[in-house]
Amino acid sequence: MKFTVREATKEDMPQVLELINELAIFEKEPEAVIIDVEDLKRDGFCENPLFTCFVAEVEGKIQGMALLYFRYSTWKGKTVHLEDLIVREKYRGKGLGSALYSKVIAFAEEEGVKRTEWVVLDWNKNAVDFYERSGATVFRDWWTVQMDEGGMKKFLSKSAGN
């Protein structure tokens, strides 16, 4: 199968959002996505973009994407965080995911970062196996911690009373 991997454009964001929604369904959180196309356009294509996105295209249609951004590690310095890598189900196993992954790693190396990191669900055995085969370390002793908007408001209202 012939496909191309390239940096996304503003015009690609509707298809990128479709993939983000598809990933949310795959990860069993279909209602979790609250951003829209305008958010992606504003945040990814402004003077100081908040993310970089690569897409895999087959016959003019985006069938996969990888979205990443820079972070700063107090141990390593500038790092890349791969937020999402998704390939439409019908195109999995055809090399698109590997090509996007390679593009992300090459981008990180070009940027001179000391680490690329991401999160994978423990039940996504195919992804875990792929990452381990690629030479990545899958940490099983670190827990991801998040606080959503409601949690932040609740915490701040409680801490304001102290």
pLDDT (tens digit per residue) in 129-146: 999 999 999 998 988 888
Q: pLDDT confidence of 59, banded at 50, 70, 90? A: very high
Query: Per residue, what are the HEC states of 27-70?
Result: CCCCCCCCCCHHHHHHHHCCCCCCCEEEEEEECCEEEEEEEEEE
User: What pLDDT was estimated at residue 96?
Assistant: 97
Query: pTM surpassing 0.95?
Result: no
**What letter represents residue 155's amino acid?**
F
Active site residue ranges: 131
Report the run of H or E that residue 90 belongs to, with start and end. Answer: none
Q: pLDDT confidence of 162, banded at 50, 70, 90? A: low
pLDDT (tens digit per residue) in 98-125: 999 999 999 999 999 999 999 998 999 9
Q: pLDDT confidence of 45, banded at 50, 70, 90? A: very high
